[in-house]
Amino acid sequence: MSTARARFRLSLVLGAGLLLLAQIGAELAPVEPAAYFGGWRLARKFEVARALGTVEVLAVGSSHADTDFDAEEFARVSGRRACNFGVGATDLYVQSVLVRDLLVPMLAPATIFWALPDTPLLDRPEAQQYRDAPFLSRARLPQGYRIVALESRLAYQRKRRLRDWIADLADPPGAVVDRFGQTRLHHQIELGPREGATAAGLSADAEDAGAIELSEAEREARIEETYRVFAQALDAAREHGVRVVGLLTPYHASAFEPGAAYRTKMLSGRFEVFRARSVRTLREHGATFVNWRWLTGISEQDGLFADYQHLNADGARALVPFLVRAADGRDLPDEWSRLATSDERRLLAPR
């Protein structure tokens, strides 16, 4: 009997030891719990935020925040610790849950820059995978940010097939994100004399490719749910003393050329309704709106853009002084608070 009991205890000790080694290995391995978060980009941003801890300035949004906010340079210039939590293909609903339930209580920022999308992105497959991810249902629970912080560290959340382990260890996808959360783009937009509109159009039209099918009723229900949670996120930020600045990030001049998809959609009213409702919601819930869609000194510079709607690393660095001003809330021209600036109206006028 004593021998059997001793063997049982030894088995328990060995099992616990193996579990501990697996957990340590998972912590040290440069791979993220991608399935838990719905994709490696969001998983990587969570790891970055956890490593930084409490920050003073936080950027959220989709790919516009991811590429356009140089948190490291912002911290150097302003002296305020910053984190880039922009995640490409997240829609406004997922962003709002992140802000309301995870980022505000976990990071306690003083200021949030929220890069507003042109459309809700509610019917894109990439957005749906984040909506379906396990972390989102956990985040909505009481103390959800603590549950996510704990559960995402468990070794089994990083499980993947052997060939995926080999591929991710050889070339970690999260390596493109720096330690402050930014994805730096180093290429420049390439435009010929009259290629701007075509290049911009192709890039914008790609947003509609592969869209999941939703009925009109389903689409309207999602939009209403999105704005309800967006308002709750803004209220949560205000209750925690967090100042929210909703941004329209700079676009390249080619986006405003005749034939460009962005110009076409703006003139059709496709973007206008969403923009108006987003800005109205921001203002009703105590947030600030800043319109930099055309930003003189940035938008006309080819060398500052990776494509018509994303700044490259040089462009993100050039945007930092403007962001510092917006974070301070000082010297902000009234023009920047308009739903459409005079420059936008001029550039979108019939030609």
Instruction: List per-residue pLDDT tens for the chain, 351 residues long.
Output: 567 666 655 565 555 444 444 444 444 344 557 889 999 999 999 999 999 988 999 999 999 999 999 999 999 999 999 999 999 999 999 999 999 999 999 999 999 999 999 887 667 788 899 999 999 999 999 999 999 999 988 865 555 454 544 444 454 555 579 999 999 999 999 886 544 444 443 343 344 556 778 888 988 999 999 999 999 999 999 999 999 999 999 999 999 999 998 999 999 887 888 999 999 999 999 999 999 999 999 999 999 999 999 999 999 999 999 999 999 987 899 999 999 999 999 999 987
| Count of structural domains within the chain | 1
Q: Is 6 part of any domain?
A: no
Note down the domain range covering 79.
Answer: 31-348
CATH of the domain at 186: 3.40.50.1110
* Structural contact between residues 119 and 271, judged by C-beta atoms closer than 8 angstroms: yes
Q: Is 233 part of any domain?
A: yes
Q: What are the residues facing 82 on neighbouring strands?
A: 57
* Structural contact between residues 207 and 73, judged by C-beta atoms closer than 8 angstroms: no
H or E segment to which residue 307 belongs: strand 305-307
122 three-class SS: coil
Q: Is 307 part of any domain?
A: yes
Q: Is 4 part of any domain?
A: no
CA distance readout (Å), 110 to 84, 279, 320 = 14, 21, 17
57 three-class SS: strand
Helices 196-205 and 261-268: crossing angle in degrees, nearest 10, is 70
The tokens of 221 are what? 């229900």
CA distance readout (Å), 340 to 29, 34, 254 = 47, 38, 18
Q: Is 25 part of any domain?
A: no
Q: Is 90 part of any domain?
A: yes
- Give every CB contact of residue 258 below 8 A, 6+ residues apart in sequence: 197, 351
Q: Is 24 part of any domain?
A: no
Q: Is 42 part of any domain?
A: yes
